[in-house]
Each structure stands twice: as structure tokens, then as C-alpha cells.
A and B are shown apart, each in its own frame.
Chain A
Amino acid sequence: MTVHLLWIINQSGQLIAKSSFTAQNSIGELGAKPDLQLTMSSILFSTFGMSQELTPNANPVDSAGMTLLEFAEHNVHIYETPSLVKFVLVSDHHTYECNALFRQLHSLYVEYVVKNPFNIIDEGGIGQPIRIPAFTEAVKEAVDKYHSHTQQPAVKR
């Protein structure tokens, strides 16, 4: 498994955290223009809602939001917490499942962000970015464990 990018999107659709784990050119235009990630994460948030609306076999118990996007060069994994925070991972196109990593990232989010009394969730209704260095380090440590040794070494940013 190679993880290129992590986004955390809050319940309003705002990008509150982003971390890159591989070289900038591994995610094309999104690597070359980091500001584009703000736009694309909002668009992904809307698209998630659309995938729920398009469900041809809806049932009241399960959410039908998209969990995996299969592209030619990457797979995009999406995990929505019960509090509607979304974790998005961009991986290589051979990786089809990363639930264990998502659960670990969710735990780190709870431990370092939710429990932090100084973390500001939003200001005037606008979600604030996560600026907790310990959280950033813990995330990188968690993702590095999942970078397989059988892959050629990823260039760390």
C-alpha cells in the first residue's frame, strides 16, 4: 500500500487537514497546485452527497455514500465517521481496502484533536484547520507503518 494524500473534511465540507506522504508529482495537478486541494475537497464533499442521492436500492438503515473511487493511477478511499467528519485517502491503484488505517486515523483524531481543549472547531461558523503538530506527526507515523516494504521506497516530503 502506498498512501499519497490524506484529507480530513468537516461536516460542513471544509478541508480541515491535509497531509502529503509521497513526492509532489505523484498526485499530478493536485500536487503542483496545493491550493487546488481546497477546491477539490469541497467538490468531493458535494459528490459524496450526490452518490447518496443516486442510490438505486436505498434502505433506511445504511448510508450509501461512496467509499472507493477507482481511477487509472489512484484509488480514493473515503471514510465517514458517525459525526460526519470525512477522512479521504488517495492511494495507489492496487489498494482496495484500508479500513484498519482509517480506524487508526479516527482514533488519532479523537485523541489529539477532539480531546484538545485548545483546538478551535470553528470560528463564526467557519471550520478551522487542525494546527496540532503532535497530531500531524502521529498521522505520518501511522501512515508510514502501512507503506509496504515490497514497494519501492516512497519519497517522503
Chain B
Amino acid sequence: MTLYSIYIFNRYGDNIFYKEWNRTTAPQEGEAGLVAGFIYTLQHFSSQLSSSGEGGFYAVRTPLYKLHYNETMTGYRVALLSDKDLKTDVVQNILRKMFSDVFQRYVTKDPNYSHTQGRVITSTAFGEALDQFFHSQKIL
């Protein structure tokens, strides 16, 4: 299993967290904005195909990598780029758990973090906890 990078966006579309592990291609200028637009477009496409109108976008597979997506009802979105063989349903569960365990503990309960527009996660504890979490889930 290989993870390349992770982006977390808030409901304003700001990239509040970015981390990379094994990527071999350097990030380009403005890539976070491109990822934000990419996942927004696909989420919208999914809702237009859906009978319920709510959609539900899980993953994009390409010959070289796979992008996994999950979002909370409060509007936090995560895009996780991994190697192409990581199972979608496995990662969906992991990302849900990431929000309810790691994100909740180290970001939501952090008194120094305010959930306002443009506010980036500066705490190093969240990044370290995320690494440990992914290691414990055996995908890193």
C-alpha cells in the first residue's frame, strides 16, 4: 500500500491541511485549488446522476493512482491520493474514522483552532496523529 498525499478542505473550500508521503512528482503551483475544484465538480456530477439528488462520490481511479473522497455533514472534505489498488470501501471506512477520531480529537477539540474562513491547521499534533492512525490501519 502506498499513500501519496492528503488534502483537507473546509466548507469555504480552503485547503486547511496538506501532507505528502511517497509522491514522486512535485506538487505544482495552485494544486490544492485544482484538487478542490476537481472534487467539487465530481461531487456535483454525482448528484446530477443520482435519483435522490444527494449524490455520493467515493473515488476516482486512474491507471497510475486513485483519489479517495469523503466529506462530513459539516462540510469538511478530504481527498486522499493513493496507489490505484487500495480498496474503496476500506478507505471509506478509514476516512470516516479519521474524521470521528483523529480530526475530532486534534482539530475540533483544539481550543487554539477556530473554524473560520482561511484558517489552516498549524498544530503538528494532528499531522503526527494522522500518520499513526494510517499506520495502525495498515495503509501507510
A residues with CB within 8 A of B = 25-30, 36, 40, 43-44, 46-47, 50-59, 62-74, 76, 90
Told that A68-B59, A69-B59, A70-B57 touch, could you supply 15 new A-B pairs with CB distance under 8 A?
A28-B48, A28-B49, A36-B48, A40-B48, A47-B41, A47-B45, A54-B81, A55-B62, A55-B65, A56-B24, A67-B61, A68-B60, A69-B57, A70-B58, A72-B46
Q: How many residues of B are counted as interface, with CB atoms below 8 angstroms from the partner's CB atoms?
A: 40
Contact B45 A40 (CB under 8 A): yes
Q: Which of the 9-residue segments B32-40, B94-102, B120-128, B129-137 touches chain A?
A: B32-40
Contact check, A64 vs B65: say whether CB atoms are below 8 A apart: yes
Q: How far is the CB of B62 from chain A (nearest CB, A)?
A: 5
Complex Cα distance A90/B49, Å? 9
Dominant SS at the A interface?
mixed
Residues on B with C-beta less than 8 A from A56 are: 4-5, 20, 23-25, 65, 81
Q: Which residues of B contact A58 (CB under 8 A)?
A: 24-25, 64
Expressed in whole angstroms, the minimum distance between the Cβ of B129 and any Cβ of chain A is: 22
Complex contact A73–B4 (CB within 8 A): no
Shortest beta-carbon distance, B41 to chain A, in Å? 5
Complex contacts, B56 vs chain A, CB 8 Å: 71-73
Asked if B61 and A70 make an inter-chain contact with CB atoms under 8 angstroms apart, the answer reads yes
Taking a contact as CB atoms under 8 Å apart, the answer to whether A57 and B34 are in contact is no
Assembled-state Cα–Cα distance A50/B56 (Å): 20
Contact B65 A57 (CB under 8 A): yes
CB–CB B58/A68 < 8 A: no
> CB-defined interface of B62-84 with A at 8 Å, one 1/0 digit per residue?
11110100000000000001010
- In the complex, the answer to whether A27 meets B49 with C-beta atoms within 8 Å is yes
Q: Contact mask B7-38 → A, CB, 8 Å, 1/0?
A: 00000000000001011110010010011011
Kindly list chain A residues whose C-beta atoms are within 8 Å of the C-beta of B5.
56
7 contacts between A and B (CB under 8 A): A30-B49, A50-B41, A57-B22, A69-B42, A72-B56, A73-B49, A73-B50
